[in-house]
Amino acid sequence: LIIFSILLMLWVSYTSAGVCHFDAYCKCSSPHPNLGQIECHDATVFLPRLNNSKIFTLSLINNRMENLPPYLLEGTGLYKLFISNNPLYTLHEDILSGLEWTLWELHITYCKLSNIPGKALSDLNKLKTLNLTGNAISNINAEQLRGVAPSLQTLILANNHISTLPPGIFSSLVLLEVLDLSGNALLSLEPSVFTPAPLKLHFLDLSDNLIEKMYYKQLSNVGPSLRTVDLSFNRITTIIDEVGTSKLNLDSISLDYNLIKVLESFSMRNFHVSNKTSFKGNPLEDIKPNAFQGCKIVELILSECRLNAIDPESFNGLENTLHNLDLTGNNITSLDYSFIKNFTALRNLHLEHNFLQEMIWSTPPKENEDNLQLIQLHLNGVSNKPVNLQSLPKLFHLQHLSVSRLPQASLAPNDLDVFSVELGTLKLIESGLKTLNANLFTQARGIKTFDLTDNSIEKIDSKCFVELSHSLENLILTHAFSHKISTLPRGLLKPLQKLNILKINHNSLTKLPQELNTLNNLQILHAHDNKIDALYSGIFKGDVHHKLCEINLSFNKIIKIPTNTFIDLVKLIEINLADNMISVVEEGAFANLHYLTNLVLRGNKIININAEIFQNLPSLMYLDLAYNSIMHFTFASLDQVGTLSTLTMNVSHNRIFELSYNSSFDRKYLPSYIKVNHATILDLSHNNITSIDRNYFLPVQDSLTHLYLSHNSLYNSSRDLIPDMPHLQFLDLSHNALADIDQLHVLESSLIMHHVLILSHNKLRDIPEGLFTSLDSLRQIDISHNSLYSIMDAIISPPYLVNLDLSFNKLTRIPLSAFSSTSATNLLYLNLSSNKISSVPSADSFARFTKLLSLDLSNNRLSDVGNSLTFLRSLTNLNLAHNNLHIGPKDFSGVEKTLRHLNLANVTINYVPPLSLPSLLTLDISHNNISYIPSDLNNNLTNTKYLNAAFNLLQSVPVFPQLESLCLAGNHIQSLGNSTFTDFRQLTELDIRRLPLKEFDADALSILSGLNKLHISNYENVLNFNIPRWIKENNALRFLRYENQGSSGVGPEFQGDFPRKVSHIVLSGLEIRSLPDFLLKGIKTPTVALILKNTTVENIPTSIFTNLPHVRNVSLYLEGNLKTIGNPSNAETPNTPRKTFLVGLHMCGNHWSCDCQIGWIETWLRKRRQF
């Protein structure tokens, strides 16, 4: 109860968070100065120093943040810092200064860190958790961890590029308990790595590496406290080893998805205890006698292997310890009772998705029936023989039974006679049932969960559940009925007074069952994806449904919501009515719902939102009215909505033409003195708004923080377009037809909080004088994609401006004089790409921009840079691409120590300019005429990790040993030999597309053991070229892009077995017109993503996705010229052995033939919602 209360408090704090005072894209759980929990997600943010605020957690996700200034968080008392999906290549050594005694958790995930930031971590005396998942770390050393060694308990280095571990690397971490090294390129685990061993280490994750052998000595050296080991998704072929001096005691060891074909006798002899032991997904065909002898195993998982039969002698030694045995997804055809009776402790048996034909075990001698102690029995899977429930022994202790196929189409009372009242869960999924008879549960009266998912029931007796009136809590009837059943029998649900969860979704029901208004314990109702066309008043009753918290009626055919449909439901939190045909919502349809937080009405046909529709919804936080036909929207209906919360309203994608008060109705229900002070975010984008009444926003002027008016038809801004909004932080007017903004009243107001202004994709020709005079808090301005020719001097005056985007205009010069002295001093990002700028101002003109980090001058008309950058002492990112440049020896003078990213793509140079840039991390010189890269260039670019030299005239591979990513596509290289990449030990990505290769050694890529991504072509001049054969040694490879040249389709070069980690296949090239059936046959991972970009393939046949031996789940990303595609799914559910299920589909830029051949997509979408 205490844990639940804490989680509830955290959830409330997050969901009720308001917009932070310092940035419109951030949410704070508490007001200034004690900000509590801060979230800044999926937006460009620029954090000011927060030294005068108290912060508990700070989360920065996907913010395009390239650096964090030092001392940013000093004095905040921060407990947890989470940074993810940001291009952070390094961390300033003083970024965490001041948090030495407060920071407990540090998560920097999926950024670009190439090393553990040891200096930044020094003296963090309280740090318990360090998570660096998904970076580019390849080498680690003890010095990097020295600062946190005395306190660190959890170290996560997953999904990096680590290939070796130094001896004793973790020995200094005296409190280390959890170590996660999964998803790296480790070839082995040397015993010296844990010498001496961390005494408290109990969890070790080495999954998804390249380990080929598991030696007992390696594990025994980890430490005496080791309890959990994960070695799944490696290359281990055997676990047999010499006998050790002492045995390991483990709670869990996972060897899933390795290459183990045989378990030899006494394979587990070095383990005294391994409570949970898993060999899932191995090509295991044979288990020798006594394979587990000497080891105490409680749970043994052998699912998705290749076992054809079960030999009882294989399991000798487990008779008194084995509780759970999972044999799912094998090729087992028979199972004898003698096998089961040996295990006196066996409780759970999984036999799903096998080929069971003989059920000899199910008819044991009568005298042995009492010995069966099974609690759970799983026989799901249509490949198993139909199970006659009456032939099962009397399983007196059985509590859970799952069966897919039954020999008969009906279920009668005597079918359940073999079960006792202990049976609590009965799942008859895909069982072929068509009839449910009366009084089914005479013997099994204790069932709490009954699941009939994916059946085709045509007849169900109204007295079917009578015996379960005091037990049934969960009734799952998802996709259970034939299309012939449009209503449930009257009285069917009435006895179920203990029912908590009712799922009748994905059927063809036209009405909700009348008995709903008698189910006083109901908490969750799912009736979506039916054909329900009406809701009647009284179906939901406040005095009955006092526990109901969730209602999902989406994807039906409801036309009207009558008065008092949802009223007095005191615990209701969420109502989903999306994607119906609702055109009328009557007054009082939603009333007295004190805890309702989410109300979704999107995707309907609502035309008007009248007053009194929503009555007393004080906790509503999200009202979604998008994708309707609303023509007139006012705030008259919101005076009783969200009064105790912060309300977000989505009214986008409607048919609103003007925002005005056009009737006496509005004046009656919303007089001038009424304020809707709880509405904070309003989205009116994607309408057809052409005008806004001067008083329209008055009701929300004191509360609104975010206003979205993009993708409308505003063409002229009147003085009264938007009133004073003292709390407005974000205003989006992009994608309109604005040509004049000099009278925009909002920009003459005292908007002390305004942070973001977006005016992109309009028709602005100039910026009027005084536009930004009163917007002192403005931090981001986007005026891109307009028709600006020039900008007046000193017009850009906001003193805290950090980001200005003027790209895609018609500027002829860099408008440095347009900045006031204070705005120039604080500017960090300036984007002037795609203009008509022909020259760069002198260095003195840039002298005021002392903090500028990023300057984008790409796609202009520049010819020379000169010494203009000399005084940009903070510049880290410079983009000069797509100009006609001459680059001299002093062009980068002044930025040598700071510049990290330089883009010189398509600047028409035929040489590599002198680049003495020791801090440079990424260099793009693609699409030029460079024929030679000096051999000493890497000496001047000692930290460069990413080099793009594509589409030049290079004839050989340049020597850059420190590179992690190298792109050589479209050059004149004709030969790649065995020694070509010898020096590229750290390379993780290589692009060699479109090379005119005449020689390409089959072992040329084998030296790249850490290669993660490969971009390759078909090379018609290379004899017998075959991609699987050429990459067979690249066992770390996950991503393969294939670009075709000179061939009409994918041919034999793609035939064969790919490395086992390859899970992303990208096909591109306009010459690809067809795809072979064997395209995915060589994929070995359970999940694969197939991406098609810019091909001329018109049809993807279903045959590509059939008979895939390893693939279970498929994702498709299709961009190009497709006209039709076959259904990739041949399974009813995800993760079905020997079948595939489409789990994701992205389609754009295609030319679809709208016919029945792609009609399956609608059915698939419906099926996906089921899961």
Over residues 473-489, mean pLDDT: 96
Cis peptide before 33 (omega within 30 of 0): yes
Does the pLDDT value for residue 729 go beyond 70?
yes
> What is the pLDDT confidence band of residue 1121, given thresholds at 50, 70 and 90?
confident
Burial of 604 (0-12, 13-18, 19+ CB in 10 A): buried
Range scoring the smallest mean pLDDT among 357-366, 658-667, 702-711, 868-877: 357-366
Query: CA–CA separation, 445 vs 441, rounded Å?
Result: 5
Q: What is the pLDDT of residues 241-262, one digit of tens each?
A: 777 778 899 999 999 999 999 9
The amino acid sitting at 536 is Y
Over residues 48-59, mean pLDDT: 91
Query: CA–CA separation, 984 vs 813, rounded Å?
Result: 43
Within this chain, domains 1-159 and 249-368 share the same CATH topology: yes
Q: Tell which wins on pLDDT, 236 or 775.
A: 236
> Which residues lie below 8 Å from residue 959, measured CB to CB, with a gap of 6+?
935, 938, 983
> What is the pLDDT confidence band of residue 9, given thresholds at 50, 70 and 90?
very low
What is the DSSP-derived secondary structure letter of residue 313? G
What is the DSSP-derived secondary structure letter of residue 1021? T
Does the pLDDT value for residue 2 go beyond 50?
no
Over residues 133-148, mean pLDDT: 95
Query: Can you give the residue ranges of every domain in the chain?
Result: 1-159, 162-176+184-236, 249-368, 1063-1171
* pLDDT confidence of residue 963: 95
* pLDDT confidence of residue 665: 45
Does the pLDDT value for residue 707 go beyond 50?
yes
Does the pLDDT value for residue 14 go beyond 70?
no
Q: Considering Cα of 939, then 941, then 943, then 944, what sign does the dihedral take? A: negative
Q: What is the pLDDT of residues 390-445, one digit of tens each?
A: 888 777 889 999 999 899 999 888 888 888 889 999 999 999 999 999 999 988 89
Place of tokens 């708004």: 689
> What is the pLDDT confidence band of residue 619, given thresholds at 50, 70 and 90?
very high
What is the four-CA torsion angle of 1046, 1047, 1053, 1059, rounded to 10 degrees? Answer: 80
Q: What is the pLDDT of residues 570-597, one digit of tens each?
A: 999 999 999 999 999 999 999 999 999 9
* pLDDT confidence of residue 52: 83
Range scoring the smallest mean pLDDT among 375-379, 721-725, 750-754, 1154-1158: 750-754
Average pLDDT score over the chain: 91
What is the DSSP-derived secondary structure letter of residue 819? B
Task: List phi, psi (to 5°) of 467.
Answer: -70, -10
Range scoring the smallest mean pLDDT among 336-350, 621-635, 966-980, 1007-1021: 336-350
Query: CA–CA separation, 690 vs 309, rounded Å?
Result: 73
Does the pLDDT value for residue 667 go beyond 90?
no
What is the DSSP-derived secondary structure letter of residue 328? T
What 3-state DSSP class applies to 591?
strand
Q: What is the pLDDT of residues 741-771, one digit of tens each?
A: 764 444 444 455 688 999 999 999 999 888 8
Percent over 90 (pLDDT), the chain: 74
The amino acid sitting at 335 is L
CATH class of 249-368: alpha beta
> What is the pLDDT confidence band of residue 677, given thresholds at 50, 70 and 90?
confident
Task: List phi, psi (to 5°) of 1049.
Answer: -165, 180
Q: What is the pLDDT of residues 89-134, one digit of tens each?
A: 999 999 999 999 999 999 999 999 999 999 999 999 999 999 999 9
Cβ atoms within 10 Å of 1003's Cβ, excluding its own = 12
Does the pLDDT value for residue 4 go beyond 50?
no
Cβ atoms within 10 Å of 62's Cβ, excluding its own = 15
> What is the pLDDT confidence band of residue 240, given thresholds at 50, 70 and 90?
confident
Q: Tell which wins on pLDDT, 3 or 394.
A: 394
> What is the pLDDT confidence band of residue 5, given thresholds at 50, 70 and 90?
very low
The amino acid sitting at 274 is S
* pLDDT confidence of residue 674: 62
Over residues 63-70, mean pLDDT: 90
Query: CA–CA separation, 409 vs 421, rounded Å?
Result: 24
DSSP string, 579-626: SS---EE-TTSEE--TT--EEE--SS---B--TTSEESBTT--EEE--
- pTM greater than 0.85: yes
Percent over 70 (pLDDT), the chain: 95
* pLDDT confidence of residue 289: 96
Q: What is the pLDDT of residues 912-923, one digit of tens each?
A: 998 999 999 999
What 3-state DSSP class applies to 825?
helix
Does the pLDDT value for residue 332 go beyond 60?
yes
Cis peptide before 699 (omega within 30 of 0): no
Tell me if 566 sits within 8 A of 542, measured CB to CB.
no
> What is the pLDDT confidence band of residue 219, given thresholds at 50, 70 and 90?
confident
Q: Residue 1031 corresponds to which tokens in the numbers above?
A: 């990459």
Query: CA–CA separation, 515 vs 492, rounded Å?
Result: 8
Place of tokens 């009772």: 337
Q: Considering Cα of 1032, then 1034, then 1039, then 1045, what sign does the dihedral take? A: negative
> What is the pLDDT confidence band of residue 561, given thresholds at 50, 70 and 90?
very high
* pLDDT confidence of residue 17: 66
Tell me if 146 sits within 8 A of 118, measured CB to CB.
yes
Over residues 674-687, mean pLDDT: 88
> What is the pLDDT confidence band of residue 720, given thresholds at 50, 70 and 90?
low
CATH code for 1-159?
Answer: 3.80.10.10
* pLDDT confidence of residue 399: 95
